[in-house]
Structure 1
């Protein structure tokens, strides 16, 4: 997984990090409002608080901004998820925590997650491949928790079922961001998490019963 080299003429790496963080925060707001293609670099620079010339000292193109946004969002999601999972819990309780943790990260980063999934398709092939591999790191973190339950004989799933279950967890988490306009009319985030965990685990119990019957 090779990170894209985003050009910068500024040598001070601390300043580069600071300015790019400003750019990322401004870009997320604009991409949510207008979308990637309708947002201009001039608008991004203005909202960031500096000139268009200064903006281009830290990037080479508007696509670089989108790449920086996606890369930063994935890194933050992975960091927060691992922070939540830094616990002594094991087995099914750890699986419940993994589901809850991912959903809470999505809740905390709704705008960023929405931008990432709506606009990443505009990246060029190599950059898109990189951010998709970051997505797989998140999926694999969930898979590890599920696989531990299987290895401990708490769940009966084969490899394909483990992978599909982990994808189901991520999709249900994304739904909180994608359909928040509807879901928030009926549920708090706590209610949503509780019901989703209940349905996910009941689905596994039903699957186990079907396997026994056949």
Structure 2
């Protein structure tokens, strides 16, 4: 069952304008949250960085927590979209898994500061919003469960159903590792080398030899 998205009220009625302005707010807020931290950033600073007055900002959001929620949701949308694209790949599950893992790590590399922000600041969200953000994380992990099961069905992946959830979470950690440990891993591996090595290690135990 898909987690219900939190509704953030807006005084503006035009959906396209709301989307456009909130994208501006997200971009401005991300930079501020990363460099100053969520708690030290003020809504007035977010408004200024967005190019709005404080009054205009409050036409699109109700609180600073709303902005953090929008930032988290934006990052998860990008991750899920990229992974959904990967699973449309025509081929056996094992090849789909390789494509999806590559997509995951590349996206993590591209939005690494934002991913760090999610893990550092999610605790600042109200309970309902935090629950939604965590459920989105589970939904993204479930994409890998789907891919693993596809491979099990077509015979290209060798594992047991009871291990699928654990393996899917392990795959997510491979992507997150590049975010959290890139400061040292990048001294020894390029992004492509990291992807290739982690793919080899992952497939060693689950791929079915042809």
TM-score > 0.5 by shorter chain: yes
CA drift of 1:155 comes to 3.1
Moved more, 87-96 or 124-133: 87-96
CA drift of 1:164 comes to 0.6
The separation in 2 between residues aligned to 1:179 and 1:39, in whole angstroms, is: 26
CA contact (8 A) 2:38 2:121 kept: yes
- Which of 87, 90, 94 lines up with 1:92 in the alignment? 94
CA drift of 1:85 comes to 3.1
CA contact (8 A) 1:67 1:127 kept: yes
Where does residue 11 of structure 2 map in the other structure?
9
Pairwise CA RMSD of aligned residues?
1.7
Where does residue 61 of structure 2 map in the other structure?
59
Answer yes or no: is 1:194 the counterpart of 2:177: no
Map 1:19-98; keep pairs closer than 5 Å: 19-98=21-100
The separation in 2 between residues aligned to 1:4 and 1:65, in whole angstroms, is: 12
Provide the secondary structure at the position in 1 that maps to 2:10. coil
Where does residue 212 of structure 1 map in the other structure?
none
CA drift of 1:130 comes to 0.9
Where does residue 185 of structure 2 map in the other structure?
183
Structure 2 runs not aligned, ≥5 long: none
CA drift of 1:203 comes to 4.4
CA distances 1:52-110 after superposition (whole Å, capped 9, x unpaired): 11111111011000111111111111112212333212232222112111111211222
Normalising by structure 2, we get a TM-score of 0.91
The separation in 1 between residues aligned to 2:131 and 2:39, in whole angstroms, is: 20
Question: Paired residues, what number?
Answer: 206
CA contact (8 A) 1:85 1:101 kept: no
Answer yes or no: is 1:165 the counterpart of 2:151: no
> Which of structure 1's runs of 4+ aligned residues deviate more than 6 A?
none
Answer yes or no: is 1:136 the counterpart of 2:155: no
Structure 1 runs not aligned, ≥5 long: 209-214
The separation in 1 between residues aligned to 2:86 and 2:153, in whole angstroms, is: 22
CA distances 1:151-181 after superposition (whole Å, capped 9, x unpaired): 2233332233111111011011011112222
